[in-house]
Structure 1
């Protein structure tokens, strides 16, 4: 095994079909392949490049966002998703998180291995038509960024971005150092301004008009002590 090439981390539930897939990857890829349960707290290891392959069939959106945050915090980690239904599903996932690779349920195993090797070399793996759709999507987001967004305030934009990470009202309140009642008031105003009725509709609206929410990195929760200083 070529450890210098990096490792492939398959995030999925363990079952006989998964083991067959892992055995195939071990035979075809010149690097280690490991399996991690979706909710496991995986810690980084020595290889400079870690390719995380998220199983869309067995991972919910909140767990995907947790890996999105982890990848933003750890240098050398690349995210890809497999078992996506079709290109529309890929656009939906890509609008919510930063993926370098996309694999569909219909992709044959040799093509998946080719894509994984490409990702391990530091390149993107997705179709030209999907790239075109995402370029158009982000161009729309860029245009929207130059005009007021339905009268939303800066604080309301912060809160709607947090909704996209799956944060609860309590978690939003802790992150922003406000009360849950204040969060509920902001949500009422947000729903009224963008003409939606629930959190799911608000998240879908945000993805179409604001783009993917940034990872919530660097914030402290209420009552959480600041990080220790190294004295410099």
Structure 2
């Protein structure tokens, strides 16, 4: 593959340190290297093989989900995360979104370049122990899919999946064409059934028992006159 037609896109805060990192990658990899701020809208070219490198130190969960959606819609885009604390952190992120590569804070620049080269060739980059843990995780998820999940209804399962994308009560109401009061009632019943006390605990429970929520591609929208959705950008 001609890496000169490929792109490594670093999603992080733009500062002198990130620029030094970009310069180093550009010297070591025979491809284009660019940077974009986490909240900046970016549209890639279909002809490019793109590896998106998400900086876990500067990107929140909602923004990671947005890139998850972009990757699902793109023809040739791979997602990787770097600056992950450890393998536990990697498992947490991988349970919420699809990543092809994982890099830790302790990884050397040489190791990151090696991993990016592997990703640009269309392969995975993560440790065998991490892959084993994720296989076990998805096996548990598959087993759970064949039995009732704590008595949750189909609508409650929809709502708990939306919690994992960072959606607010108003956003969930708009997507399901129900009132915000109805969403709150469903959340009360969900928390009671799975024995948690807040949204974060519910999301963590869902990741362990239901797996990663699917990318919300082509979500239904209400007319904007009823419940305007806050702008999180």
Is TM (by shorter chain) over 0.5?
yes
- In 2, Cα distance between the equivalents of 1:158 and 1:46? 32
Q: Which residue pairs with 1:101 in the alignment?
A: 101
List structure 1 runs of 4+ shifted beyond 3 angstroms: 2-5
5+ unaligned residues in a row in structure 2: which ranges? Answer: 225-233
Kept in 1, the 8 Å contact 2:163–2:199? The answer is yes
For residue 208 of structure 1, what is the aligned residue in structure 2? Answer: 208
Q: Partner residue of 2:116?
A: 116
Mark the runs of 5 or more structure 1 residues left unpaired by the alignment. 225-232
Over the residues paired in the alignment, what is the CA RMSD in angstroms?
Answer: 1.1
8 Å CA contact retained: 1:102, 1:126: yes
Match in the other structure for 2:186: 186
Name the SS for the 1:10 alignment partner: strand
TM-fit CA distance, 1:46: 4.7
- Alignment TM-score, normalising by the size of structure 1: 0.94
Paired positions, count: 223
Answer whether contact 1:118 1:125 (CA < 8 A) is retained. Answer: yes
1:222 aligns to what SS in structure 2?
Answer: coil
- Larger deviation: 47-56 or 165-174? 47-56
- Structure-2-length-normalised TM-score: 0.93
Distance in 1 between residues matched to 2:25 and 2:37, nearest whole Å:
18
Distance 1:117 1:83 in 2: 18
Secondary structure of the structure 2 residue equivalent to 1:88 = helix
**Deviation at residue 9 of structure 1 after TM alignment:** 0.4
2:12 and 2:38 in contact (8 A); partners too: yes
Structure 1 residue 75 displacement after superposition: 1.4
Please tell me whether the aligned partners of residues 101 and 119 of structure 2 are also in contact (alpha carbons under 8 angstroms): yes
In the TM superposition, residue 160 of structure 1 has moved relative to its aligned partner by 0.2
- The aligned counterpart of 1:149 is 149
SS in 2 for 1:78: strand
C-alpha displacement at 1:219, in angstroms? Answer: 2.3
Deviation at 1:4, TM superposition (A): 5.0
Give the corresponding residue for 1:228.
none
CA contact (8 A) 2:4 2:30 kept: no
CA contact (8 A) 2:9 2:51 kept: yes
Equivalent position SS for 2:59:
coil
Greater alpha carbon shift after TM alignment, 107-116 vs 2-11: 2-11
**Equivalent residue, structure 2, for 1:230:** none
Say whether 1:130 aligns with 2:130.
Answer: yes
**Contact 2:46-2:74 at 8 Å conserved across structures:** no
